[in-house]
């Protein structure tokens, strides 16, 4: 019974750390995108498919950089290895959608990445790279 509890606790810790790590990567990406957007005021509407592909590649890029700095797992892998590919991008997408909602409620500009779908796509890019290249 204790082994099951420790496995569940380890899985929850792994997910929490992955979500925090992905959120920090996303916040960095938002800061970069926002500064580029402010430098170039003429923003054009981008196709949703192209934007999703761009955020997936941007997430993969951040994931690759994270592998260089953190080549080992952030926490000891649990019995549920790989669950972070599903759960952490969803949680990160929810966090980003809430950030976008708060920004819009304050009448501030919101970026595409501050939505559930694009936030999930970015976090999925990070999670995929870390899943396949961190051992």
Convert the pLDDT of each residue in 30-50 to its tens digit.
877 777 776 566 666 678 899
Q: Annotate 60-71 with b (16+ C-beta within 10 A) or e (fewer).
A: bebbeebbeeee
**% of residues, the chain, pLDDT over 90:** 37
Least confidently predicted of 40-44, 53-57, 119-123:
40-44
Which pTM was predicted? 0.74
Report whether pLDDT(128) > 90: yes
Predicted local confidence at residue 47, as pLDDT: 86
Report whether pLDDT(119) > 80: yes
Longest dimension (CA), the chain: 60
Q: What count of other Cβ atoms lies within 10 Å of the Cβ of residue 104?
A: 12
Residues 112, 97: contact at Cβ < 8 Å? no
Convert the pLDDT of each residue in 13-28 to its tens digit.
777 787 887 878 888 8
DSSP per residue over 14-31, as a string?
HHHHHHHHHHHHHHHHHH
Distance of CA 125 to the CA centre of its chain: 7
Mean pLDDT confidence for 55-62: 93
124-73-90 Cα angle (round to 5): 25
């Amino acid at each position: 019974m204790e082994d099951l509890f420790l496995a569940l606790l380890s899985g929850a810790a792994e997910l929490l750390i992955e979500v925090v790590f992905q959120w920090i990567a996303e916040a960095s990406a938002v800061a970069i995108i926002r500064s580029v957007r402010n430098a170039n005021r003429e923003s054009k509407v981008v196709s949703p498919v192209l934007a999703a592909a761009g955020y997936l590649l941007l997430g993969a890029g951040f994931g690759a950089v994270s592998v260089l700095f953190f080549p080992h797992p952030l926490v000891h892998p649990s019995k549920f290895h790989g669950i972070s590919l599903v759960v952490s991008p969803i949680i990160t997408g929810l966090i980003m959608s809430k950030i976008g909602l708060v920004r819009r409620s304050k009448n501030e500009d919101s970026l595409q990445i501050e939505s559930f779908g694009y936030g999930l796509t970015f976090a999925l890019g990070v999670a995929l790279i870390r899943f396949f290249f961190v051992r």
